[in-house]
Amino acid sequence: MQRGTEQAYVHRGGRIPDNTAVAAPVVATNYGQQMTTGSELRNLPSVQRVVNGDSLSEAVDAYGREMVVELTREVLDGARKGVLAGSPAPNGDEIAAAVLGLMASLAEPSPRPVINATGVVIHTNLGRAPLSDAALASADAVGRGYSDLEIDLGTGRRGSRQAHLQSLLRRITGAEAALAVNNNASALLLGLSALAAGREVIVARGEAVEIGGGFRIPDVLRQSGCTLVDVGTTNRTYVRDYADAMNDNTGAFLKAHASNFRVEGFTAFVEEGDLVALGETSGVPVLHDVGSGALLPTERYGLAHEPTPQESIAAGVGLVFFSGDKLLGGPQAGIVVGKRDLVARLERHPLARAVRIDKMSLASLTATLTHYVMGEAEAKVPVWRMISTTAQDVRHRAEQWRATLDTNRVVASVEPARSAIGGGSLPGETLPSWAVSIDPPAGSSPESLLSALREQPTPVIARIEEDTVRLDPRTVLPEQDDDVILALTAAMAP
């Protein structure tokens, strides 16, 4: 501190000389801040004062005093932390408003419905496959009351929740037996635990993959009590690699479809039929995780071929595993189809009860599979309706959006686009499409427009491309068109 600018800094009641080598300003600032913080903390209202105020009287009557007191304490705790961080203390009315806001958020349904305008058909973050009307109605019917979930109406005795589902899956895939559980990860875990716990499972090195969400084939094998034996190389594996690794402790051969990435170039992988032939010589079953649950030929729609359960069953695979909420287009579920004796071993395993499918998923899955049996999946299952829609039909719909937006004074254009399949299915494959393109308002940004769309009563999820916001009608349900227009008009309003 320079002489001639002496200031009094209080330190334990005394004056610090101006030539003392201490951080006097810091001490003074901290002291002043402590004084201010203490004053602000004292300004915070008490819990009782807030709860007894007029602002929360209706909330107390509606939800009970105990709940309102708990939420008020929670808000005051947050306010106290804010004051300690340097914020001013809110008054009683502000605390009460925060309590009502927290109460409203607790009462809000979750997850919230959103509109998927990204062009990604099976969007993992948005709940994957939307359900058909029949699937929704079936789940609603069994959820509203009682059902014949595990009773045989003919005999009046206990029945199996899997019975009708098994009949549909056998008819669709050609398998001898079938089983549904809560998701495909648990289906594979159940299969390995029931058939190969304590034994070795041989997997091609290029198929020891991470399927998604940290779900890795080596980890699943370890959790199921199996020992992983990887054979071949990352890009090339032959039947002889499996044969050389076989021994008396081999429990199964496992094939896993690389559903979320693609290896191209100098590659060689063993076909299911060749692996089945090898396994038959020593009684080793072949397990095949085909992942996405494609029950229709994807090449029909200009896409790469996606392995189907039907093909694996025809090749003689012992058990085939696949998802219900990807290309199958139903609810979250894990499905196992295959040989009767192997499926029976899964049904008897203790883990089967822990991962069994719930009644509402079972009902909607059954309804979805019925669409395939009736030959109406392309028209009735939303995922396949989106995939089969032509680019010209998407363009026509996009032009209708643009024209309606124009009448609402929102300037938009229609641009060529590509729609992705998503959901860990058909990696790199896209469909030709068209999107509505909108420049953000002056002084704004594409990110802020996306944010405004997410804040609408029915949130709209879009994407950014070439510094514009793009909305692809392919993945928007027809009944949501008006909501898209309303959201865009509101988000673009000055």
What is the residue-wise DSSP string for 465-483?
ETTEEEE-GGGS-GGGHHH
Is 484 buried (19+), middle (13-18) or exposed (0-12) by CB count in 10 A? buried
Examine the domain organization and report whether 88 and 184 are in the same domain: no
Examine the domain organization and report whether 226 and 327 are in the same domain: yes
* 147 lies in some domain: yes
Examine the domain organization and report whether 222 and 348 are in the same domain: yes
| Helix H or strand E segment including 34 | helix 24-43
Examine the domain organization and report whether 208 and 330 are in the same domain: yes
Note the pLDDT of residue 177: 97
Is the pLDDT reported for residue 17 higher than 80? no
- Supply 289's token pair: 């995780």
Q: Helices (DSSP H) in 322-445: which residue ranges?
A: 340-348, 351-354, 359-373, 377-380, 382-388, 391-407
Domain edge (last residue) among 339, 360, 378: 378
* 267 lies in some domain: yes
Examine the domain organization and report whether 188 and 306 are in the same domain: yes
Domain edge (last residue) among 378, 410, 431: 378
Residue with tokens 């990604």: 120
* 122 lies in some domain: no
* 138 lies in some domain: yes
Cβ–Cβ < 8 Å for 43, 89:
yes
Provide mean pLDDT across the span 144-171: 92
Examine the domain organization and report whether 365 and 397 are in the same domain: no
Average confidence score pLDDT of the chain: 89
Examine the domain organization and report whether 360 and 389 are in the same domain: no
**Domain count along the chain:** 3
- Calpha distance 348→293 (Å, rounded): 24
Instruction: Indicate the range of 25-34, 86-95, 264-273 predicted with least confidence.
Output: 25-34
Strand order in the sheet with 250-256: 177-181, 334-338, 319-323, 286-291, 250-256, 200-204, 227-231
Examine the domain organization and report whether 220 and 317 are in the same domain: yes
Note the pLDDT of residue 166: 94
Q: What is the pLDDT of residues 443-482, one digit of tens each?
A: 899 999 999 999 999 999 999 999 999 999 999 999 999 9
pTM (two decimals): 0.84
Note the pLDDT of residue 434: 98
Note the pLDDT of residue 28: 40
Examine the domain organization and report whether 74 and 214 are in the same domain: no
Instruction: Indicate the range of 37-51, 318-332, 401-415 predicted with least confidence.
Output: 37-51
Examine the domain organization and report whether 102 and 144 are in the same domain: no
- Calpha distance 388→312 (Å, rounded): 24
* 116 lies in some domain: no
Sign of the torsion angle spanned by Cα atoms 230, 233, 237, 241:
negative
Q: What is the pLDDT of residues 200-240, one digit of tens each?
A: 999 999 888 776 666 688 888 888 999 999 999 888 999 99
| Helix H or strand E segment including 309 | helix 309-314
- Calpha distance 418→434 (Å, rounded): 7
- Tell me, what CATH number does 206's domain have? 3.40.640.10
Domain edge (last residue) among 378, 395, 429: 378
* 121 lies in some domain: no
* 335 lies in some domain: yes
Provide mean pLDDT across the span 70-85: 93
Domain that holds residue 73: 10-107
* 275 lies in some domain: yes
